[in-house]
């Protein structure tokens, strides 16, 4: 029987709802899962769905002192020729920080102890590197789901990316955009890159047709970490344009992050304190309630100066699932779900005028919101069902490279 070990940098993590959704769907399918986390969480709030996860969770030790590093290596490098294999990959391990080497060895030891037959890592960065180390020490195969920062950011080490992906049983892209990117950067590695989209537990997302005619103010919602790639400064500026044009509008942005103070200063500088509220972090259940209350959801994503880019924000899928009309920018995988005029409104990234005009069109009742929302829900049901995603992952991990 296949026993899968999930390798995650942090668990649990508020911003990674897609991981919990995936695990729950596989749990419902009957898969035998374990979770190995490399860092403790620093989040103060959690999604209630985490309580439904039945998989055992282990936080791998991370030594901070040299003597503890050698002590852990001595303890974990035992049995099944692991010391010889460790020596064989020592040139590659020498490129990593000592604490990563120790955690990779610790993961290998846990794999043997827990009789794991397959590893599944999310992100081709720390988690991917640790899965690679454990694989090379134990021979246990691994799959790797790639996302955004781990393959697009300027900090990505192309040598390690190609090494990790080349040795993986499969490399999973969450969008066709990412698939094309990986096919290019991994050329010649032998990596088997496949498409498997992040998905939703659809039963938790009740569809409600949107209101065609507004009742009072246009209610606008944005959700995401307050970081440059989310483009929330453009959203704030567009709301300011609407207010100055006399449009009744209120906006809320749920999420937290490094730009919180800067975005609040932008709101204050434009005199928008009574029109825009930064809500802080919210659970997925709270986000669903916010989506139901909104007239339109905005995902103003951009490519950040450091190359960071969204893969395909899960909250966009959630908005489409519950019937909230979406305005999004044509960044990365977003055009794969937001077909302009059909399943949402698609605008160029960084185009504040286009965002302002689109919001004004909705405020004036010139967009067929109900038909658009209905088509959006149909697309989500057809292509973003977590039960289908789970069955696909399970079949791949059971069959291995021979299929």
Q: Tell me the C-alpha distance between 172 and 58, whole Å.
A: 24
The predicted pLDDT at position 151 comes to: 97
Residue spans per domain, the chain: 3-199+385-402, 203-383
The architecture CATH gives domain 3-199+385-402? 3-Layer(aba) Sandwich (3.40)
The CATH number of domain 203-383, selected from 3.10.50.40, 3.30.465.10, 3.40.50.2000, 3.40.50.300 = 3.40.50.2000
Read off the pTM.
Answer: 0.93
The 3-state secondary structure of the chain, one letter per residue? CCEEEEEEEECCCCCCHHHHHHHHHHHHHCCEEEEEEEECCCCCCCCHHHHHCCCEEEECCCCCCHHHHHHHHHHHCCCCCHHHHHHHCHHHHCCCCHHHHHHHHHHHHHHHHCCCCEEEEECCCHHHHHHHHHHHHHCCCEEEECCCHHHHCCCCCHHHHHHHHHHCCEEEECCHHHHHHHHHHCCCCCCCEEECCCCECHHHCCCCCCCCCCCCCEEEEEECCCCHHHCHHHHHHHHHHHHHCCCCEEEEEEECCCCHHHHHHHHHHCCCCCCEEEEECCCHHHHHHHHHHCCEEEECCCCCCCCCCCCCCHHHHHHHHHCCCEEEECCCCHHHCCCECCCEEEECCCCHHHHHHHHHHHHCCCCCHHHHHHHHHHHHHHHCEHHHHHHHHHHHHHHHHHC
Nearest by Cα to 312 from 43, 10, 17: 17
Each residue's pLDDT expressed in tens, for the chain with a length of 403 residues? 799 999 999 999 888 899 999 999 999 999 999 999 999 988 777 778 888 999 999 999 998 887 888 888 888 888 768 999 999 999 999 999 999 999 999 999 999 999 999 999 999 999 999 999 999 999 999 999 999 999 999 999 999 999 999 999 999 999 999 999 999 999 999 999 999 999 999 999 999 999 877 778 999 999 999 999 999 999 999 999 999 999 999 999 999 999 999 999 999 999 999 999 999 999 989 999 999 999 999 999 999 999 999 989 999 999 999 999 999 999 999 999 999 999 999 999 999 999 999 999 999 999 999 999 999 999 999 999 999 999 999 999 987 654 4
The predicted pLDDT at position 221 comes to: 98
Structure-token pair, residue 224: 């995401």
The predicted pLDDT at position 80 comes to: 67
Same CATH topology for 3-199+385-402 and 203-383: the answer is: yes
């Amino acid at each position: 029987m296949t026993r899968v070990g999930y390798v995650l940098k942090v668990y649990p993590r508020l911003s990674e709802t897609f991981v919990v959704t995936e695990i729950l769907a596989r749990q419902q399918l009957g898969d035998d899962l374990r979770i190995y986390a490399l860092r403790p969480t620093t989040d103060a709030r959690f999604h209630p769905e985490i309580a439904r996860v039945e998989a055992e969770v282990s936080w791998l030790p991370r030594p901070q002192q040299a003597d503890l590093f050698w002590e852990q290596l001595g303890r974990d490098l035992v049995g099944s020729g692991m010391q010889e294999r460790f020596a064989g990959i020592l040139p590659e391990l020498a490129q990593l920080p000592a604490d990563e080497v120790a955690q990779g060895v610790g993961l290998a030891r846990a794999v043997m102890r827990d009789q794991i037959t397959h590893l599944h890592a999310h992100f081709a960065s720390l988690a991917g590197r640790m899965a690679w180390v454990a694989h090379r020490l134990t021979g246990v195969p691994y799959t790797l789901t790639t996302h955004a920062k781990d393959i697009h950011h300027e900090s990505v080490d192309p040598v390690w990316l190609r090494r990790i992906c080349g040795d993986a049983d499969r490399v999973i892209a969450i969008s066709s955009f990412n698939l094309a990117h990986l096919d290019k950067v991994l050329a010649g590695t032998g990596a088997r890159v496949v498409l498997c989209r992040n998905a939703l537990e659809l039963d938790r997302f009740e569809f409600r047709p949107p209101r065609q005619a507004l009742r009072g103010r246009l209610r606008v919602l944005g959700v995401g970490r307050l970081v440059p790639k989310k483009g929330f400064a453009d959203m704030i500026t567009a709301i300011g344009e609407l207010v100055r044009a006399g449009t009744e509008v209120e906006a809320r942005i749920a999420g937290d992050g490094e730009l919180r103070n800067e975005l609040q200063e932008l709101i204050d500088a434009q005199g928008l304190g009574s029109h825009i509220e930064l809500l802080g972090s919210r659970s997925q259940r709270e986000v669903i309630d916010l989506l139901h209350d909104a007239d339109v959801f905005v995902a103003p994503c951009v490519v950040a100066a450091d190359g960071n880019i969204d893969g395909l924000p899960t909250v966009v899928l959630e908005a489409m699932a519950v019937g909230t009309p979406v305005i999004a920018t044509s960044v990365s995988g977003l055009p794969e779900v937001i077909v302009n005029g059909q399943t949402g409104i698609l605008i160029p990234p960084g185009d504040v005028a286009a965002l302002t005009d689109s919001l004004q069109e909705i405020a004036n009742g010139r967009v067929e919101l109900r038909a658009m929302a209905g088509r959006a829900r149909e697309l989500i049901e057809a292509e973003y069902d977590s039960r289908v995603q789970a069955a696909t992952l399970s079949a791949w991990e059971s069959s291995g490279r021979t299929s």
